[in-house]
A = this chain, B = another copy of it.
Amino acid sequence: MKIGLFDSGLGGLLITQAISARLPEHEYLYLGDTARVPYGNRSQATVLEFTTEAVTYLFGQGCDLIIIACNTASAEALRSLQQRWLPKHYPDRRILGVLVPAAEAAAAATKSKKVGVLATRGTVTSGTFDRELKVLDPAIEVVSSAAPLLVPLVEYDGLEWAEPILERYLAPLHDVDTLILGCTHYPYLKAVIRDMVGKDVEVISQDEVVPDKLADYISRHPELGGPSTQPAQRRYLVTDQTDDAVRIARELAGQPIALELVTL
């Protein structure tokens, strides 16, 4: 199977590494919209427009399954995209997001039924985590906090200032027992966040949750295709190419990777 992974930028590389390590028998095509990153503060209409272009491109490249690795795009565009590529019309094409696996893990973990969500403004405003958690368990109370400065801190060498800034963003979430890190960049902050919230709070990080959920999904959907004939194939496409992108990609992927420039 050829699996497409889409993120607004390069933040999705970590979850891509986690997924391809868990499911090495498939081929992977990553697409980062680095010409228009970040999506977190854009309108729902614009996020849907950009994400539709990306998904159309990835299906055009022969992907069988596309993971929207960007939480903002998952929150604001996934449902519309799934309606556009309905399984009954496109039985061999599927689009998945990263919110539901995180919501499922949080619903399973919470005892107090108070779950916190730390995410971009777009994701928080969409209310998608709230809805998904309440579908799983109507008793769950969700407290969300928008954290617009965290992505720039991760991308632009600002981690030394993360703690005081996180203090403000975590303050509204003080009485939850489970905390979802609802943005593709936040796994890079999980150690500091776990330190700050203490061990009584279960921190749900998508890179630790999504690969197993995806493996399970794939095993239940053999119609999407078996192991790839080119399992070692890993390609990384971007819509803008800079020295900075190469550096960030290397840091996020944990190894140097070749970025290919494409136009959507």
Interface of A with B (CB < 8 Å)? 34-36, 41-43, 45-46, 121, 125, 148-149, 152-153, 155-158, 161, 164-165, 239-244
Contacts and interface: CB of A to CB of B under 8 A. Distances in A.
- Secondary structure class of chain A's binding surface, majority of residues: loop
A36 B43 CA distance: 11
Count this chain's copies in the assembly.
2
B149 A240 contact: no
A46 B242 CA distance: 10
B149 A46 contact: no
Contacts of A157: 148
Contact of A42 (B35, B42, B121, B164): B35
B35 A242 contact: no
Contact of A35 (B46, B125, B165): B46
A79 B41 CA distance: 31
Contacts of A125: 243
Given A43-B240, A125-B243, A149-B152, 16 more contacts: A35-B36, A35-B42, A35-B46, A36-B36, A41-B156, A41-B244, A42-B242, A43-B242, A45-B240, A46-B239, A46-B240, A148-B155, A148-B156, A149-B156, A149-B158, A161-B165
A50 to B, nearest CB: 8
